[in-house]
Every structure is written in C-alpha cells, then in structure tokens.
C-alpha cells in the first residue's frame, strides 16, 4: 500500500520505493536539461500516477498541474514524450518568475512499464545492496523510441562520476545509495536531528545502548541499532561513505565510540559539545580533516530543533562538496556549542 501522495523534493531512491509498491499506472518525469535559473536541476525526478497522485516535485508548483495533464496521453500511447518549458524572464512573468519558477527546462515523461520498470526495480535492489548503477537512455525517432541499458559501476569510481549526463541522443543517470548518517545517542535532542536528516535524503541509523530509548516509535523513518559503544563500530560496519554524529552526552560512552570510529576513515564525524570536551574525547589522537567539532554550522541556534538544522546543514554541505561561509567565533570555539547542553 502506498502512503498519501507526497509532494516535495524526494531522492531517486524514494521515487523507486514508490514504483516498487505502486499498483496503478505511473509516469516518470525526469528533468534532463536546464538552462538558466531553475528550482530543480538536471536529474530531478517526479512520479505522476493516473489517479492524480504526485510523488516528488520538479518546481515550486508551477509545472506539476500541467504535467499531470500529460499522464493519460503518455499512458494511452505507451511512448515517452519530451516536454519543454521556457520560463526565462522575457516570458510570462505571471506564470514563471513571480512564483519562483524560471529558466528553460526539458522534461522527459516515460510510462513506467516494460523494460523501464524492470530496470528501475533492478536499480532499487542494487541500491539496497549498497551498489551503484547507471541507467542509460538512448533516444531514437526523436524521443518516442527509447532503448535502455543498465550497468553496475565500481563504488570507488562512482565518487568521481556525475549523477547525470545529457547528450544529444542519450541521457545517463547514476543511481547511488542514500548516504548513511549514524546518530550515536538516542536522547530527546536526537529526535529532530534524525527526522530532519531523513527528510533531507539521508538513510538514518540511530544507535544507543539503551533499548528503551532506541525505538522505532521515537525515531520513525530511521533504523535503530542497540549495542554498547565498543560493539557498534563492527556491528554498523562503518565505512568511508558514512556520516556520524556523536551526541549521547555521556563522556565515557562518547569517548569509547569516537576512539573506535577513528580507527577507520569516515566521510564525516561530528562531535556535539565544546572544543575542550571534544579534545578530551580524542585523548591526544590526531584530528583528521573529516572530524568536526563543535558539530554543525554556526547559525546562532538554540534548542534541539535549531541545533538539528545546523547539523544537517553541515551534513548537506559536506555531501554537496560546498564549503559553507560560516565560521565559529572564538568565544563559541572555546565554550559550549550553541549554548548550554547537558552532558
């Protein structure tokens, strides 16, 4: 059973989850070319069902209704269609620019049947196994005839592979597993962090040694692992692709987990607490560039929700490879992160 239609930005994995459980006709909309400013970039996907349900988005609301009108046509013809929207400033301001839409966008509409459906389900299964696959579309006879090819690519090489590549007669999309965020510590302030990270497209695992804290009811949408700190590194099978946030607020537990995790190389390790506390946790170990403390971007946040925003903002910055132009002040660097916190 599908849950209620969900608009908003969804990762490719989320779209494929809907495809996997969908029991009605569906059309996949993919942005394959963008010029100028646009709300979503090349590679954005959206699933449109015959009953009018929408999953994902490719605009702030100016294109979805129009695209929905094409669903019966694509379903009836069982052929892909290419739709173009030119919303650059010289055009109608009332439809485009004034509500946040803009640019020139080319969108491929495809019936989710036959060979495409098989490839999408195969890609979903591959991502579940932590694998990276590329789906290539070869366009013939305009866009009405499309050939599909799916191949697995080496995970190490995938880091340097673009998520999408558009040529004159082909479009290549790389399906990568969701990046995993491990939250060590299932206290109350971890709840908004886990929820926001899930909503931002991360696969979230909450780990704690207290089974009454680490439950699916408290952390919907996240996985939970119950184990003591010394067991977690092996149990979680931490890798260089993982993001880790340490926030149990118990010094000995945090220290044990951090020292175990730092024997590996992670994508990101953020430690909640002051600089002096974090350095005591490291106990003289050299600090690699992927270890961050105080955790999160300095946005003057207060309380669990705002702190979660600052942390997830930093995770997104690392994920996208964009350096945030925000630095900690010397007073914050020497004191508690973003105000007082219980340890």
Q: Write down the pLDDT at residue 98.
A: 47
Residues sharing a CB contact under 8 Å with residue 148, sequence separation 6 or more, in sequence order:
115, 116, 119, 135, 136, 137, 138
Q: Residue 201 and residue 118: Cα distance in Å, rounded? A: 24
What domains does the chain contain, in order, with CATH numbers? Answer: 12-175 (no CATH), 180-333 (3.40.50.720)
Alpha-helical runs (H) found in the chain: 12-21, 64-68, 71-77, 114-128, 155-158, 190-199, 229-236, 251-261, 275-282, 303-320, 330-333
Cβ–Cβ under 8 Å, residues 89 and 103: no
3-state secondary structure of 79: coil
How confident is the model at residue 11, as a pLDDT? Answer: 80
| β-bridge mates for residue 151, sequence order | 134
Tokens of 244: 């880790």
Tokens 């650059």 label which residue? 88
Q: What is the pLDDT of residue 168?
A: 67
- Average pLDDT for runs of 10 along the chain of length 343: 44 93 95 84 93 91 92 95 85 49 90 97 94 93 86 68 65 94 98 97 97 97 96 94 97 97 96 95 94 94 96 96 60 38 37
Per DSSP, what are the bridge partners of residue 52?
none
Q: 134 near 140, Cβ under 8 Å?
A: no
pLDDT at 99: 47
Cβ density class 319-331: b for 16+ within 10 Å, e for less: beeeeeeeebeee
pTM > 0.85: yes or no = no
308 neighbors 258 (Cβ within 8 angstroms) = no
Looking only at Cα atoms, what is the longest distance across the chain?
67
Q: Which residues contact residue 91 at a Cβ distance below 8 angstroms, ignoring those fewer than 6 apart?
A: none
């Amino acid at each position: 059973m599908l849950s209620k239609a969900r608009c908003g930005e969804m990762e490719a994995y989320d779209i494929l989850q809907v495809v996997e459980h969908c029991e009605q006709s569906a059309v996949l909309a993919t942005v394959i070319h963008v010029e100028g400013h646009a709300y979503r970039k090349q590679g954005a996907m959206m699933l449109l069902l015959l009953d009018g349900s929408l999953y994902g988005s490719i605009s702030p609301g100016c294109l979805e209704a129009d695209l929905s009108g094409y669903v019966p046509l694509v379903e009836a013809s069982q052929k892909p269609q290419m739709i173009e929207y030119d919303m650059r400033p010289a055009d109608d301001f009332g439809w485009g620019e004034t509500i946040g839409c803009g640019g020139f966008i080319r969108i491929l509409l495809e019936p989710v049947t036959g060979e495409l459906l098989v490839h999408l389900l195969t890609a979903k299964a591959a991502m579940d196994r932590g694998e990276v696959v590329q789906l290539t579309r070869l366009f013939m006879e305009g866009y009405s005839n499309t050939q599909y090819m799916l191949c697995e690519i080496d995970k190490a090489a995938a880091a340097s592979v673009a998520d999408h590549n558009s040529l004159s007669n082909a479009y290549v999309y790389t399906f990568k597993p969701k990046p995993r965020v491990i939250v060590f510590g299932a206290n109350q302030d971890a709840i908004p962090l886990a929820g926001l990270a899930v909503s931002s497209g991360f696969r979230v695992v909450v780990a704690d040694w207290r089974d009454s804290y680490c439950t699916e009811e408290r952390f919907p949408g996240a996985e939970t692992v119950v184990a003591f700190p010394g067991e977690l590194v092996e149990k979680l099978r931490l890798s260089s692709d993982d993001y880790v946030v340490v926030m149990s607020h118990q010094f000995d537990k945090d220290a044990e987990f951090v020292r175990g995790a730092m024997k590996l190389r992670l994508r990101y390790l953020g430690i909640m607490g002051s600089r002096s506390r974090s350095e005591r946790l490291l106990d003289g170990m050299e600090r690699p560039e992927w270890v961050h403390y105080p955790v999160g971007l300095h946005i003057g946040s207060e309380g669990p929700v705002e702190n979660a925003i600052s942390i997830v903002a930093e995770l997104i910055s690392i994920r996208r490879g964009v350096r945030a132009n925000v630095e900690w002040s010397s007073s914050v660097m020497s004191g508690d992160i973003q105000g007082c916190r219980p340890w």
